[in-house]
Amino acid sequence: MKILLINPGSSDDILTRVMREIPYLDSPAFFAPHALAAVAAVTPEGHSVHLHDENMRGPVDPLLDADAYDVIGITLTTNQFRRTLAIVDTCRMKGLLSRIVVGGIGAGTMVTRLKAKVDTLFWGEVEDTWPRFLADLVAGHPKDTYQQVAKPDMAMTPVPRWDLIAGDIRKYCAVSVQTARGCPFDCAFCDVIYTYGRRMRMKPVERVLDEVRTLERLGAKMVMFADDNFAADRAYVKDLLRKLGPLNNSFTLPLGFLTQLDITIAEDDELLELLADANFAEVQIGIESTSAASLKDMNKHQNLKGDILAAVLKIQSYGIVVMAHMIIGTDSDDATAFDRTARFLDDAHITHHQCHPLIAPPGTKMWYDLKRQGRLVAFTDEMRDRLDITTNILPKRMTRVELMEGLADYWDRVHRPVDYAHRAVAFLQGIRRKPKVKEAMLTSLWKNRTMMARTFAYYSRKVSPAQRKAFFDVVKATQKVSPALMPRMMFVHTGYMMDVLRAGHASVIAREQAALETGHPEVLQVLSSTTLISPAIRDQMPAIARAAFGAIRPAAADREALFRLVLEAVVDYHDRFGATLATFDDVQADYLQMACERVLAKAGATTAAPGNASADAGPMPTDGPPPGFAREILDALDRAVNVSHGGWEDRAAAPDLVG
């Protein structure tokens, strides 16, 4: 079979626009399409696969011919929804006979809209389901939905098929390597654990090194270790870094590495040294807020363990740039959050960051909590692509307009050239241990001589006097502190310029949306505060309650805690999967188990000996759920979700309920 795999792109995408507004980059796209290369890698032999990244190659429409492909697959994140629908509509309009399939991290939250448009929808990981789908299609009985049952063994996942786009690899800013899946944390606004689970699954270290060698050979500029938390398993990542550093220094020109991890790495000096010496130029950290109350609102407890400012300064003292992700708009945030966040950037010498309004992605625990409070708004398809600017929440201590206008003002002022230059110079002066990376200044300058010439020409003639001064102030400071850091500081300055351009676009969008909502409040429709308990949940509650009981009972301190924790787990499970439950099978049991684990982790429940009981709660059940247990849990669930109508869909209350 002939298969076309597509990564949707759009000229409206802010990152794409920013990339093309910095001419010396000569990279039309930032990240190579890892998802497509990974799906191609698990495609069985005998099928022909073609990859098309619209960000690199432009619109896919000319390739959509009637007899060109048997399968057209699209991967999407939530901000690619409109373009995905447009591609599907083009396929339908042309009358293609291809099987149109969609998957990706954004597919699960838009299941109803997508199922009405496409032939087959994929949920979760696809190492098992993609080959099964192709076999079913060859046999003539493909299903309309495929969902991964067991979490794939990372040791068995093949190397992504980068050979299919080998000619484009050197044109991307970065190419991804995935070392692990899963995350031990449970942030309220994130749904990673339902996609990948809480238990970390690692790829063998030698496999990771082989992938790095391949990408270096293909001409990659930088490698992004695209894990949700690269340092979640410290023993594993240290083993990897001890081998990655020497490997990288063996290359003629060492690669630069990027990744995502959490603030607790500041506690581990050995890990920081290994990251620095492997040439990790930047680490992205979800700092989110410097307010303890706001961090608690987001269930970001890992950030409450120490001094965030001190932690950032320590990480950067190793020459590693911290790209800070910040959030404003939690229930504890008022208008002072903007100034507080701006002060933090200066104090922490942050040169590169992104600041967003709080967002509640559909299906997360935060989404359901806010929905029951009547504090979510229905978003249009256009808003889906701009949720990091316009949000879907009614804030508690600000209006939506105050939040969006406050962010626009924030974006306008925090990126002033003079302030950035002060932060960048302070970052340089704060380096206490320089990375032990092979100094290849002459090689680097020669290899990148054309880009360096374009870079200096751009900042000499194409920017404002203030931007020009900031650039050359950073260059002079780098020459004084350590000329070997010049490539890294060029990367830092480019990151800053991307922030400037991105903020400019975002500020315009935020102000336009604020003006629209001020002049036409009817455009916002508040979602109904109710959710629906499906007949399947009611019918299968005995099995659900029994499974939850089995998971919670060993850790419950007394009868009251047992019932409360089971209810909390069942509410969490219902919120995420109740509307789509058909049969309480092994897949659903696994989801319920994860809900139980997250509840126990949050509660910090302690194991109690069988038979313990609180003074007034009655005896603890030992052999199994007590009589009437399922009914009690169902009744409590009814009360908890205040059921009358609603569900996954964006059902709105009266338009005049806008806050």
Q: What is the pLDDT of residues 252-272, one digit of tens each?
A: 889 999 999 999 999 999 999
User: What pLDDT sits at residue 325?
Assistant: 96
Give CB contacts under 8 A, 24+ apart, made by 363-370: 363/108, 363/109, 363/191, 363/194, 363/575, 363/576, 363/648, 364/188, 364/189, 364/190, 364/191, 365/188, 365/572, 365/575, 366/188, 366/189, 366/298, 367/575, 368/531, 368/575, 368/576, 369/188, 370/394
Lowest mean pLDDT among 25-39, 433-447, 454-468: 433-447
Share of the chain above pLDDT 90, in %: 59
User: What pLDDT sits at residue 125?
Assistant: 85
User: What pLDDT sits at residue 452?
Assistant: 79
The first and second tokens of residue 512, run together, are 């336009």
Mean pLDDT of 201-223: 95
Beta pairing class for 201-202 and 180-181: antiparallel
User: Is it the case that residue 610 has pLDDT exceeding 80?
Assistant: no
User: Is it the case that residue 211 has pLDDT exceeding 90?
Assistant: yes
Beta pairing class for 2-7 and 71-75: parallel
User: What pLDDT sits at residue 301?
Assistant: 87
- In the chain, what are the helix, strand and coil shares in percent, each to the nearest 5? 55, 10, 35
User: What pLDDT sits at residue 112?
Assistant: 63
Mean pLDDT of 234-250: 97
Mean pLDDT of 573-596: 88
pLDDT band at 439 (very low <50, low <70, confident <90, very high): low
Alpha-carbon distance of 505 to 226, in angstroms, equals 26
pLDDT in tens, 76-126: 887 788 899 999 999 999 999 899 999 987 666 666 677 778 999 898 888
Question: For residue 33, what are the contacts with CB-CB under 8 A and spacing of at least 6?
Answer: 7, 51, 53, 75, 165
What domains appear along the chain, each with residue ranges and CATH number? 2-148 (3.40.50.2300), 535-641 (no CATH)
pLDDT band at 15 (very low <50, low <70, confident <90, very high): confident
Q: Three-class SS of residue 164?
A: helix
Query: For residue 229, which amino acid is it?
Result: N
Question: For residue 352, what are the contacts with CB-CB under 8 A and spacing of at least 6?
Answer: 282, 321, 323, 324, 492, 495, 496, 499
Lowest mean pLDDT among 12-16, 302-306, 539-543, 619-623: 619-623
User: Is it the case that residue 545 has pLDDT exceeding 80?
Assistant: yes
Query: For residue 452, which amino acid is it?
Result: M
User: What pLDDT sits at residue 384?
Assistant: 64
Alpha-carbon distance of 219 to 170, in angstroms, equals 5
DSSP structure string for 449-517: HHHHHHHHHHHHHSS-HHHHHHHHHHHHHHHHH-GGGHHHHHHHHHHHHHHHHHHHHHHHHHHHHHHHH
Mean pLDDT of 324-329: 97
pLDDT in tens, 504-541: 999 999 999 999 999 999 888 898 886 667 778 888 99
User: What pLDDT sits at residue 634?
Assistant: 81
Q: End-to-end CA distance of the chain, in Å?
A: 53
User: Which pTM value belongs to this model?
Assistant: 0.83
Q: What is the mean pLDDT of the chain?
A: 87
More confident residue, 273 or 154: 273
pLDDT band at 575 (very low <50, low <70, confident <90, very high): confident
